[in-house]
């Protein structure tokens, strides 16, 4: 390692500490402002030109808004339609009536597991928020419930979505590792499911039941009201469960079709191109909103102007969330552009760990330091690709899986997902750390343990 590498690593560490201090100290700085201030500080500390700093800020915020912000806005619109139509309340009633309180986290984990197969973490969470809030709001009304119902219900969802996002193709992370390491999708997917199940159980229902008793987290009332309206203003009966469920799941269905098409159809196929277009998160969410608006409102005699007003109002509670996530994207871009990832690679090159553990460590360090799981996966896979090609005894699907698991570890302040969970649930920095950061760390570590066990079993067999 060079003195420059050490300087970059210290800069990344200090920047996170300063960010937390600005938000939780007496200054109580708004997270967006704190993220921008710290990002600029990173730029100057790493000797960037002022013009370059501004360029990286705009690029990071813009990429994040383009990839996540618009999808979150469409998700808020879809959630508003489903809530006003009573769909989320119907589903919540079914879960609560047919599931004992102690099994609700397991039921929510199962729903998120299915939703998470085709959906990115942030998109899946947007889809699940109305149901999380509806179930938790009903649950907290029970006198015998102690702690935060929203953490109790939400942590299993976070765990399942994270596990699927990092471990199971066709998510971009695992697919990237598969492509770089030149292995196959089938075995990696099978191993991914085997690792995801115990990881999301330990990080979800089990940890959620433990931590929820020690927290009193409750989302902002405006966001709760948006996603949990039980009665319709016009007094119309609720739509059927079938059409309501289809409206809620249409984006997930389109993304799943895209995922299946990618695995079964050759590149250049017209059907694959159509599935890729319709299964893009932005297009899938847009079609979901349009379908829900027509089938649940307009086709049932609803007022188009009232629908438009409702959709406009749905964006107000999540505007702050979107902008904070954009700030997180700017922070991530600044760390990445400062070549913090290169310093991490130089650090890991001096180690003598086995390949499966080394892949996990590199992906973990890159993800934590740069705020990007994708950077972690691409960096780790690229670094180990020569070894993968030279060592025929190395289990490449398990190596790809270990890299995906490492990229999940300790999702924190430079990750968009951290801010989405924090702001959606109305958490403090400490509460968000106890939930999403710890949950994803549990998922990452359990995933690595399963990888090592599977590797030992395959070697013996």
In this prediction, residue 233 has a pLDDT band, given cuts at 50, 70 and 90, of very low
Which pLDDT score is estimated for 230? 46
Distance from C-alpha of 152 to C-alpha of 62, rounded to nearest angstrom: 34
Give yes or no for residue 398 having a pLDDT over 80.
Answer: yes
Average pLDDT over residues 281-305: 94
- Residue 68, exposed/middle/buried by CB under 10 A (0-12, 13-18, 19+)? buried
Distance from C-alpha of 385 to C-alpha of 379, rounded to nearest angstrom: 10
Q: Are 439 and 158 in contact (CB under 8 A)?
A: yes
Which pLDDT score is estimated for 242? 87
Average pLDDT over residues 298-321: 91
What would the DSSP string read from start to end of 247-268?
A: HHHHHHHHHHHHHHHHHHS-TT
Which pLDDT score is estimated for 145? 83
Give yes or no for residue 234 having a pLDDT over 70.
Answer: no
Minimum mean pLDDT range among 28-37, 180-189, 346-355:
346-355
Residue 461, SS3 per DSSP: coil
Average pLDDT over residues 93-121: 91
Q: Give every CB contact of residue 197 below 8 A, 6+ residues apart in sequence.
A: none
Tokens 């991530």 locate to: 332
Distance from C-alpha of 181 to C-alpha of 110, rounded to nearest angstrom: 31
Note the pTM of the prediction, 2 decimals: 0.87
Distance from C-alpha of 443 to C-alpha of 410, rounded to nearest angstrom: 10
Give the model confidence (pLDDT) of 150-183 as tens digits: 999 999 999 999 999 999 987 878 888 998 999 9
Q: Are 185 and 178 in contact (CB under 8 A)?
A: yes
Please, what is the average pLDDT of the chain?
A: 91
Average pLDDT over residues 427-438: 96
Give the model confidence (pLDDT) of 364-375 as tens digits: 999 998 888 888
Segment (H or E) for 3: helix 3-24
Average pLDDT over residues 29-52: 95
Tokens 């085997």 locate to: 194
Give yes or no for residue 229 having a pLDDT over 90.
Answer: no
For the chain, the straight-line distance linking the first and the last C-alpha, in angstroms and rounded, comes to 40
In this prediction, residue 61 has a pLDDT band, given cuts at 50, 70 and 90, of very high
Q: Where are the alpha helices (DSSP H) in 202-339?
A: 207-212, 221-227, 241-264, 270-279, 281-296, 304-314, 316-337
Which pLDDT score is estimated for 120? 82
Give yes or no for residue 390 having a pLDDT over 90.
Answer: no
Tokens 């924190």 locate to: 412
Average pLDDT over residues 130-157: 91
Q: Which two tokens stand for residue 378?
A: 């691409």
Give the model confidence (pLDDT) of 406-431 as tens digits: 999 998 988 889 999 999 999 999 99
Give yes or no for residue 246 having a pLDDT over 80.
Answer: yes
Closest of 439, 417, 409, 452 to residue 206, by C-alpha: 439
Give the model confidence (pLDDT) of 67-96 as tens digits: 789 988 999 999 999 988 888 888 888 888
Q: Where are the alpha helices (DSSP H) in 85-220?
A: 87-98, 104-116, 121-140, 149-167, 172-181, 185-201, 207-212
Give the model confidence (pLDDT) of 330-387 as tens digits: 999 999 899 998 888 888 777 778 999 999 999 999 999 888 888 899 889 988 998 8
């Amino acid at each position: 390692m060079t003195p420059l590498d050490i300087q970059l690593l210290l800069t990344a560490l200090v920047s996170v500490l300063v960010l937390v201090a600005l938000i939780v100290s007496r200054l109580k700085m708004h997270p967006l402002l704190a993220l921008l201030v710290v990002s600029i500080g990173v730029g100057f500390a790493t000797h960037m030109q002022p013009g370059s700093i501004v360029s990286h800020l705009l690029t990071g915020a813009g990429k994040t808004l383009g990839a996540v912000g618009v999808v979150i806005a469409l998700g808020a619109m879809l959630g508003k339609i489903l809530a006003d139509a009573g769909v989320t309340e119907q589903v919540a009633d079914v879960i609560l009536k047919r599931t004992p309180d102690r099994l609700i986290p397991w039921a929510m984990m199962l729903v998120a597991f299915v939703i998470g197969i085709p959906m990115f973490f942030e998109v899946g969470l947007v889809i699940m928020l109305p149901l999380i809030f509806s179930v938790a709001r009903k649950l907290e009304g029970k006198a015998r419930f102690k702690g935060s119902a929203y953490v109790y219900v939400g942590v299993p969802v976070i765990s399942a979505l994270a596990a699927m996002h990092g471990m199971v193709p066709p998510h971009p992370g695992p697919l990237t590792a598969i492509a770089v390491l030149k292995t196959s999708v089938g075995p990696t997917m099978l191993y991914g499911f085997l690792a995801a199940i115990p990881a999301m159980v330990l990080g979800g229902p089990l940890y959620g039941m433990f931590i929820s008793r020690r927290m009193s987290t409750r989302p902002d009332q405006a966001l709760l009201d948006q996603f949990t309206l039980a009665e319709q203003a016009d007094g119309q009966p609720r739509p059927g469960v079938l059409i309501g469920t289809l409206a809620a799941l249409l984006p997930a269905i389109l993304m799943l079709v895209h995922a299946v098409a990618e695995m079964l159809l050759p590149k250049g196929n017209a059907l694959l191109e159509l599935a890729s277009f319709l299964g893009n998160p932005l297009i899938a969410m847009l079609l979901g909103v349009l379908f829900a608006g027509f089938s649940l409102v307009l086709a049932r005699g609803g007022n188009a102007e009232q629908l438009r007003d409702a959709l406009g109002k749905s964006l107000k509670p999540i505007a702050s969330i979107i902008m904070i996530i954009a700030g997180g994207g700017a922070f991530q871009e600044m760390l990445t552009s400062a070549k913090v990832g290169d310093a991490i690679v130089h650090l890991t090159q001096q180690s003598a760990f086995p390949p499966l553990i080394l892949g996990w460590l590199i992906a973990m360090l890159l993800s934590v330091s740069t705020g990007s799981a994708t950077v972690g996966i691409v960096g780790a896979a690229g670094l180990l690709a020569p070894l993968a090609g030279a060592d025929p005894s190395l289990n490449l699907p398990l190596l790809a899986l270990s890299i995906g698991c490492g990229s999940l570890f300790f999702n924190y302040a430079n990750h968009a997902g951290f801010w989405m969970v924090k702001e959606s649930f109305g958490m403090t920095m400490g509460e968000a750390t106890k939930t999403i950061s710890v949950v994803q760390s549990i998922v990452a570590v359990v995933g690595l343990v399963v990888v090592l066990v599977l590797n030992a079993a395959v070697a013996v067999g």
